[in-house]
């Protein structure tokens, strides 16, 4: 009876309910990204990712109920579908410069990361969680919450913050995010133009990162 009360108290918690709602909304957004302009997608992503992080960070303590391994529902094909949709939507804004340890005094470890990759990884956790949670079995629901919390701390939480930082810069910068009409010109010329613009975007990010490091 005590365990059942714990389940009900946890599952009725307002923070848990908020997280479940945001997780479902995030899945819907990423599955239907083609229905939005780039600006709308970025704006909605900022709202949802912020809500996801806040809800999970304020989540009450969760105890693992069973030793079962939760079933996974997002396969490799699903992951690549989400990745490709978001990669196309963001275009040359998809890649960004990431600094793994920005407060380190020694040389910083810099790499090029894909926003679409982060979105797809977060989607994998959210979709698996939402699918398990929707089954209505209290033990499964609590276990799904516990696993999602563990993955948040080690995996998708840092990815979310990294993506949110870049989305914030994109949305509130002077970048022209309005959808541009496709101009009729050879494919090779389109590719060259996109690579040039993408290169400029990455170069500006790199300059900003190192300027911050010099302060």
Q: What is the pLDDT of residues 11-32, one digit of tens each?
A: 899 999 999 999 999 999 999 9
Mean pLDDT (the chain, rounded):
81
Distances (CA, A) of 166 to 151, 172, 203: 22, 10, 14
Q: What is the pLDDT of residues 146-205, one digit of tens each?
A: 999 999 999 999 999 999 999 999 998 866 676 542 333 344 444 444 443 444 444 344
CATH architecture of 2-91+115-174: Up-down Bundle (1.20)
Per-residue pLDDT, averaged over 58-70, amounts to 82
Q: Domain map of the chain by residue range?
A: 2-91+115-174
Residue 109 reports pLDDT greater than 90:
no
Q: Is 99 helix (H, G, I), strand (E, B) or coil?
A: strand
Per-residue pLDDT, averaged over 61-68, amounts to 79
Of residues 16 and 107, the one with the higher pLDDT is 16
- Partners of 95 in the beta sheet? 114
Q: Could you tell me the two tokens for 172?
A: 């509130």
**Whole-model pTM?**
0.78
For residues 86 and 119, the answer to whether their CB atoms sit within 8 Å is: yes
């Amino acid at each position: 009876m005590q365990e059942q009360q714990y389940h009900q108290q946890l599952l009725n918690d307002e923070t848990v309910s908020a997280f479940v709602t945001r997780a479902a909304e995030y899945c819907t957004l990423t599955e239907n990204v083609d229905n939005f302009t780039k600006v709308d997608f970025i704006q909605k992503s900022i709202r949802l990712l912020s809500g996801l992080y806040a809800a999970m960070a304020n989540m009450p303590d969760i105890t693992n109920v069973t030793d079962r391994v939760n079933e996974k529902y997002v396969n490799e094909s699903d992951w690549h579908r989400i990745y490709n949709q978001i990669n196309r939507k963001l275009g040359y804004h998809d890649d960004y410069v990431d600094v793994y340890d920005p407060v380190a005094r020694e040389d910083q470890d810099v790499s090029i990361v894909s926003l679409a990759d982060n979105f797809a990884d977060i989607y994998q956790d959210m979709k698996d969680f939402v699918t398990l949670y929707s089954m209505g079995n209290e033990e499964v629901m609590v276990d799904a919450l516990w696993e999602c919390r563990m993955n948040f701390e080690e995996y998708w939480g840092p990815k979310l913050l990294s993506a949110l930082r870049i989305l914030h810069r994109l949305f509130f910068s002077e970048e022209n995010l309005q959808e541009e009409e496709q101009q009729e010109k050879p494919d090779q010329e389109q590719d060259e133009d996109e690579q040039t613009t993408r290169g400029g975007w990455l170069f500006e990010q790199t300059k900003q990162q190192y300027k911050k490091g010099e302060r």
